[in-house]
C-alpha cells in the first residue's frame, strides 16, 4: 500500500522575479507564474490526481486554484506546508543576503543554523516530512498534488538523503514537480523522479 505525492513548487511570483526572499511573507504570481501553475496541472492530467493540498500562503493557494480549475478536484490548505521561516532575511534581496557569513550554512547546507528569528533547515524538513506522512496516511492508495515551496522542498530532500550544496533557487524552478511515494508497510518515502519544468 502506498500514496503517491506530487510535490510542486508554486508559480513564479513578483518577488521571485527580482530574487527577493519571501519565506513566510508573500507576493502575487506573475503572468508567467500563472502559466507555470497551469502547466503543473496539464502535466498531471493523466496521473489520476484525487486531491490538491497546498501551503496556506497566497502564492501556493493561487497556484492550487489554477490547477483545481483544470483538474476539477477538491483543494484544501495545510498550515504545516508553509515555506521555511527565514526570519530577518524575509523581504531582503538575495544579493544582500549572500554577503552574510552564514549564508551557505543556512541556505545551502542541512544544519540547525538559522537566520535571526527564523527556522533551521533541519526543523523545516521535520515539519514538512511529518505533514506529508499525515497526508499519505489520510490518502491511502491515492495520488495527491501538494503545492508548496522551493526552500521547504530543498530541506525535505536533504532529510531524505539527497544532499546538495546548491540553494533552492538553483535546485528548483517555479513549477517543478517531485514525485514521492510513501510506502505504508515500511513507513518510508521513496523518490521516484524529479519531473522538472522545462
Residues 6+ apart with CB under 8 A from 108: 164, 165, 166, 167
**Annotated active-site residue in 10, 51, 85, 149:** 10
Evaluate if residue 178 carries a pLDDT over 50.
yes
154-171: b or e for each residue (b if 16 or more CB lie within 10 Å)?
A: bbbbbbeeeeeeebbbeb
The domains of the chain, with CATH numbers, are 2-195 (3.40.50.1240)
123 close to 112: Cβ distance less than 8 angstroms: yes
Extract the C-alpha cell encoding 79. Answer: 498550515
Evaluate if residue 37 carries a pLDDT over 80.
yes
136-165 pLDDT, tens digit per residue, is: 999 999 999 999 999 999 999 999 988 788
How much is the pLDDT for 196?
Answer: 45
Q: Tell me the DSSP string of 44-109.
A: TTTTT--EEEE-SSHHHHHHHHHHHHHH---EEE-GGGSPPP-GGGTTSBHHHHTTSTTHHHHHTS
Lowest mean per-residue pLDDT among 43-52, 131-140, 143-152, 188-197: 188-197
- CA angle (105 as vertex; 102, 108 as ends), nearest 5: 120
Q: What is the pTM of this model?
A: 0.94
The answer to whether 28 is a known catalytic residue is: no
51 close to 73: Cβ distance less than 8 angstroms: yes
**Annotated active-site residue in 12, 51, 83, 149:** 83
The answer to whether 83 is a known catalytic residue is: yes
Amino acid at each position: 500500500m502506498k500514496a503517491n505525492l506530487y510535490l510542486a513548487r508554486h508559480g513564479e511570483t513578483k518577488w521571485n522575479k527580482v530574487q527577493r526572499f519571501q519565506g513566510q511573507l508573500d507576493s502575487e504570481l506573475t503572468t508567467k507564474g500563472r502559466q507555470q501553475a497551469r502547466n503543473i496541472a496539464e502535466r498531471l492530467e493523466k496521473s489520476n490526481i484525487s486531491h490538491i493540498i497546498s501551503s496556506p500562503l497566497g502564492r501556493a493557494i493561487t497556484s492550487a486554484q489554477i490547477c483545481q480549475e483544470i483538474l476539477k478536484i477538491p483543494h484544501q490548505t495545510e498550515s504545516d506546508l508553509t515555506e521555511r521561516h527565514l526570519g530577518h532575511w524575509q523581504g531582503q534581496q538575495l544579493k544582500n543576503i549572500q554577503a552574510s557569513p552564514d549564508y551557505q550554512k543556512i541556505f545551502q547546507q542541512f544544519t540547525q543554523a538559522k537566520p535571526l528569528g527564523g527556522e533551521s533547515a533541519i526543523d523545516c524538513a521535520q515539519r514538512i516530512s511529518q505533514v506529508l506522512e499525515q497526508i499519505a496516511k489520510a490518502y491511502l492508495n491515492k495520488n495527491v498534488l501538494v503545492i508548496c515551496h522551493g526552500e521547504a522542498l530543498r530541506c525535505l530532500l536533504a532529510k531524505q538523503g539527497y544532499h546538495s550544496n546548491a540553494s533552492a533557487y538553483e535546485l528548483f524552478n517555479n513549477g517543478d514537480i517531485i514525485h514521492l511515494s510513501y510506502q505504508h508497510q515500511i513507513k518510508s518515502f521513496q523518490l521516484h523522479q524529479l519531473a522538472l519544468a522545462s
